[in-house]
Amino acid sequence: MATPVIMPRQGQSVESCILTEWKVNVGDQVAEGDVLAVIETDKASFDLESTASGTVLALFWEADDDVPVLANVAAIGNEGEDIEEFRPEGQGSAPAPAAAAPTPAAPEAAPQATGTPAVPAPVQASGAIQASAGVSPRARRLAHKHGIDPETLPGSGPEGRVIERDVEAAISGRPRLSATAKARSLSGDFETPARGTGLAGMVRSQDLKVPGSVEGAEVTPLKGIRKVIAERMIQSLHTTAQLTLHASFELSRAQAYRKERLDAGQSKVSLNDVIAHAIVKSLGEHPALNAHFLGDRIATFEKVHLGVAVDTPKGLLVPVIRDASEMSIEKISAEVKNLAGACREGTISPDNLSGGSFTLTNLGMLGVETFTPVLNAPEVAILGVGGIVLKPKRTESGEVEYVDTLPLSLTIDHQAVDGAPAARFLQSLVERLENNPGT
Amino acid sequence: MKYDFAVIGAGPAGYVAAKKAAGAGLKTLLVEKKKLGGVCLNEGCVPSKTLLQAAKTYHHAKHGSVFGVTVDGLNFDFPKAHAHKNGVMDKMRDGIAGLMKKYKVDVIEGEAVLQPNRKIVINGEEHEADNILICTGSSPAVPPIPGIDQDHVVDSTGILNTETLPKRLIVVGGGVIGCEFACMYASVDVPVTVLEAMPEICPNLDAEIAATLRTELEKKGVEFQLGSKVEEIGKTSVTYNDGEGSKEIEGDLVLVATGRRPNVSNLGLEDIGLEFSPRGIKVDDRGATNLPGVWAAGDITGRAWLAHAASRMAEVVVNNITGRTDRMRYDAMPAVVYTSPEVAVVGLTKEEAEERGIKTRSGRMPMAINARYIAENPDEGGLCKVVLEKETNRLLGVHMVGGACSEMIFGATAMLEAELREEEIEEIVFPHPTTSEIMKDVFMGVR
């Protein structure tokens, strides 16, 4: 009896996952725990492991499909076993716009065995096929005269009906292909230029381009985390009024505090932990910066849920330390360590990647002096930490001495917060870091 | 005078461009400092092929016994061969002059010097053109060999004007030009020695094709000293080093054929800011230089070094000037060595293809399997090689040595230009009995 493998639920907030890449083919032997595919939520990416051993009998989705959680993604069993009962509705029968109509999460149960023919469906096809609207007889005659399949043309007639002028357009725009170019273009997905580099503009095989390719560059499709970051960042810049304030604090006390801890046999904390802790404390006094701007209203949070930007091999992730307001610096330090590690290993739960009220980002260790962070909208503030800068300082006696300082850049959404209150928050933060770090 | 199009140099690039542009309605000027037809007609292709045919005719007469033809009192009248050569050149030059007249191209004899803003001074007079094509060709390179400045030391131009046969010819350089003259003189019983610095003659050819050509020329009496560097040219001898030490060889005529250099001097190229080097004027695949309205074609670009390539480059330039998109392609550019037997190649060798990371299938057959070939060339070896791309079965190259294979290489060129695959080529009918059938036989045997 074949066994279905389902799309696991990745945290309570996740309704579907993108299946980025299959790691197995139909017919492969797999053992329980083997990686079948790579899946991604809008926050992180995971390996989908097999929950059964045997032969891969069916893969119900294609790469890049948005698969509802708990839906069947594959069937494992012995060769020859029937898998139709596991086929999710709309997968592999009639042409199905997969992303548009995800199966309601009704997974293991509900044998949707409909006995539909297992014709591979052109899922998310280009939309060129308008079979329902048909082809006009004149269009059909002209198309056949020129060796064109009219069913494959986009129709411009009523309800997408293919009419004569669509066929004419196809004929006039059709480039002449060399024998090799023609054979090659049929063997894969290529873009054919209207004019090639061969005899009188004939398209040669070298003129066929992989769709979307850029000369002299390696092109990778935007997907997964990168796509999410891209959307979030531009949305942030489009919907917020960003203003960045720069300040810096003298490091000596914070460094001394870290050393005292070690000398007293306490746990090691990083400078970033000290800053995170100070942020949480200062936000308690300046709640206006611990808020979300929601267009027609502002949600000011009771507690601080501190997002910490983490650089991972797959891109930027921002895990959230929930309810950080009540935490000691030791607890914050441990949380940051755990969450950042889980992000880098790809084991972070999507639930830990949302719900932040304020974000901390640090590029100081990469030699950056100062930078202007981009808001993690709808949060109204984000603090960027730069690298150590040696600055002259006039002492009380009037002498000038050099001190290590750390630049802080606070970006706020001016829609929700004004410059002065933001400056006051920054002032309070600097004061805390310079005088009472860790408390 | 103001022109739409001015062409500097009336070789196979220049006169082709002038005719085509004038035919398209452009008011066209053609400037030539020597003779219409350029090196090709006056100092290269045409005269050498005429003399080669003279030598070949003598050779056939002398070696016709296998066909039952014997000749008593056989004689080679070299001055008469030269007279025929001169007659052919006159006829061709008249043809070009007539063509220019017919197309109303203004032809000025003189040296052109370029000025900024597409102005040209010729014989002290200033002219102007919307577009200028520079196609001043190339000249034989003069290597720094002691003794090269003697009367009996000639380049390819000088040897074509030498009307007495030497007792012994020494050829410095075993490239295309060196091999052609070696073949010509050996065919008329002049002992010939070729000194080549590389380990094989014609290093641009497929190695097996080059070796076959060398073997055939050796059969004609040409002696090859490979890997030999010339040290000095004396009055009656040439000293060379073949790696084992200096050696001396007697010879009363020395041909230096060590390549050609683009004619970039005295044109004012520096003054107008044109991008060029001693290796040629830099052009893109349309023949455009770095200056708007200034174009270059032929040997002056330092590419191809072939008359037919020059003509094609000129066509590309005129097409682009007159609004037709066109670009130069070198991947189906045939090349020929007019020895006996001839060498004709087009496209990539197996080694070249594999250097570019293309997986290949290939085939080879000796010309001796071809009925027409052995009927006509009983004592001559030959070879045909074909290279296909493994993935697509597309034709990549055809390489031949044997008979008059220059006359059939265009077929392979057309196949390459059309990117034909094995599947299509197999359906092409080759006439029987012709030597060209060897190509089909090799295609059928590709694996």
Element (H, E) at B414: helix B409-417
Distance CA B151, CA B145 (A): 14
β strands within A346-429, DSSP E: 358-362, 381-385, 389-394, 400-413
Residues on chain A bordering chain B, Cβ-to-Cβ distance under 8 angstroms: 178-181, 183-184, 195, 197-199, 201-202, 204-205
A222 CA: distance to closest CA in chain B (Å):
29
Out of A109-123, A208-222, A383-397, least confident range: A109-123
- Report all structural domains of chain A as residue ranges with CATH numbers, in order of start: 3-86 (2.40.50.100), 131-207 (4.10.320.10), 224-435 (3.30.559.10)
Which of B59, B60, B399, B432 is catalytic? The answer is: B432
Q: Give yes or no for a contact between B367 and B383, defined as CB atoms under 8 angstroms apart.
A: yes
Q: Which residues contact A221 (CB under 8 A, 6 or more apart)?
A: A212
A166 CA: distance to closest CA in chain B (Å):
27
Distance CA B229, CA A27 (A): 65
Q: How confident is the model at residue A214 (pLDDT cuts 50, 70, 90)?
A: confident
Using the 8-state DSSP alphabet, how is residue B394 labeled? Answer: B
| In the predicted structure, residue A101 carries a pLDDT above the cut 60 | no
Q: Report chain A's mean pLDDT, rounded to a whole number.
A: 84
Residue A414: how many CA atoms within 13 Å on its side-chain side?
A: 8
Six-digit token pair at A313?
């091999």
pLDDT digits (tens, 9 = 90+) for A405-438: 999 999 999 999 999 999 999 999 999 999 999 8
| In the predicted structure, residue B10 carries a pLDDT above the cut 50 | yes
B-chain residues near A195 (CB < 8 A): 325
| In the predicted structure, residue A112 carries a pLDDT above the cut 60 | no
Sign of torsion, CA A371 A377 A380 A381? negative
- In chain A, the percentage of residues whose pLDDT exceeds 90 is 45
Partner residue facing A205 (CB), from B329, B394, B417: B394
Q: How confident is the model at residue A118 (pLDDT cuts 50, 70, 90)?
A: very low
| In the predicted structure, residue A204 carries a pLDDT above the cut 50 | yes
| In the predicted structure, residue A439 carries a pLDDT above the cut 60 | yes
Residue B355 has a pLDDT of: 95
Six-digit token pair at A43?
């926050």
Distance CA A56, CA A28 (A): 5
Region class of A215: left (phi > 0), else alpha (psi between -120 and 50), else beta: beta
DSSP characters for A188-255? Answer: S--BPPSS-SSGGGPBPGGG-B-TT--TTS------HHHHHHHHHHHHHHHH--EEEEEEEEE-HHHH
Are A180 and B421 an interchain contact pair (Cβ–Cβ within 8 Å)?
yes
Partner residue facing B421 (CB), from A179, A195, A198: A179
Give me the phi and psi of B251, to 5 degrees please.
Answer: -175, 140
Q: How confident is the model at residue A51 (pLDDT cuts 50, 70, 90)?
A: confident
- Report all structural domains of chain B as residue ranges with CATH numbers, in order of start: 2-140+261-321 (3.50.50.60), 153-258 (3.50.50.60), 335-444 (3.30.390.30)
What is the average pLDDT across B305-312?
Answer: 96
Q: Is the ipTM of this complex over 0.95?
A: no
Six-digit token pair at A87?
């086929």
What is the average pLDDT across B308-333?
Answer: 95
Helices (H), B76-175: 78-102, 156-160
Which residue has tokens 């043309």? A153
3-state class (DSSP) for residue A342:
helix
Q: How confident is the model at residue A375 (pLDDT cuts 50, 70, 90)?
A: very high
At B122, which amino acid appears?
I
- Is residue B229 packed enough to be buried (19+ CB in 10 Å), middle (13-18) or exposed (0-12)? middle
Using the 8-state DSSP alphabet, how is residue B80 labeled? Answer: H
Distance CA B157, CA B90 (A): 17
Partner residue facing B418 (CB), from A179, A183, A197: A179
Distance CA A18, CA A8 (A): 12
Residue A123 has a pLDDT of: 35
DSSP characters for B144-167? Answer: --TTTTSTTEE-HHHHHT--S--S
Q: Give yes or no for a contact between A317 and A341, defined as CB atoms under 8 angstroms apart.
A: no
Element (H, E) at B114: strand B112-115
Six-digit token pair at A246?
């720069």
User: b or e along B48-78 (b: 16 or more beta carbons within 10 Å of the residue's beta carbon)?
Assistant: bbbbbbbbbebbeebeeeeeeeeeeeeebeb
| In the predicted structure, residue B337 carries a pLDDT above the cut 80 | yes
Q: How confident is the model at residue A15 (pLDDT cuts 50, 70, 90)?
A: confident
Residue B362: how many CA atoms within 13 Å on its side-chain side?
A: 21
Nearest alpha-carbon partner for A98 in A129, A56, A68 = A68
Nearest alpha-carbon partner for B209 in B36, B43, B339, B376 = B339
Residue B193 has a pLDDT of: 97
pLDDT digits (tens, 9 = 90+) for A62-73: 888 888 888 889
Residue A92 has a pLDDT of: 54
Region class of A334: left (phi > 0), else alpha (psi between -120 and 50), else beta: alpha
Q: How many CB atoms lie within 10 A of CB A242?
A: 17
Q: Give yes or no for a contact between B204 and B169, defined as CB atoms under 8 angstroms apart.
A: no
Q: Give yes or no for a contact between A35 and A18, defined as CB atoms under 8 angstroms apart.
A: no
pLDDT digits (tens, 9 = 90+) for B247-265: 999 999 999 999 999 999 9
Say if B331 is an interface residue toward chain A (CB within 8 Å).
no
- Could you tell me which residues are beta bridge partners of residue B260? B140
| In the predicted structure, residue A24 carries a pLDDT above the cut 50 | yes
Residue B258 has a pLDDT of: 94
Residue A106 has a pLDDT of: 38
Residue A64 has a pLDDT of: 80
- A414 catalytic per annotation: yes
Are B424 and A183 an interchain contact pair (Cβ–Cβ within 8 Å)?
no
Nearest alpha-carbon partner for A349 in A325, A320, A324, A378 = A320
| In the predicted structure, residue B394 carries a pLDDT above the cut 90 | yes
Partner residue facing B421 (CB), from A183, A195, A198: A183
Distance CA A135, CA A133 (A): 7
B-chain residues near A178 (CB < 8 A): 418-420
DSSP characters for B337-391? Answer: E-SSS-EEEEE--HHHHHHTT--EEEEEEEGGG-HHHHHH-TT---EEEEEEETT
Residue of A nearest to B324 (CA): A200
Residue A177 has a pLDDT of: 87
Nearest alpha-carbon partner for A204 in B350, B361, B311, B392 = B392
Distance CA A213, CA B389 (A): 23
A19 CA: distance to closest CA in chain B (Å):
32
- Could you tell me which residues are beta bridge partners of residue A391? A403
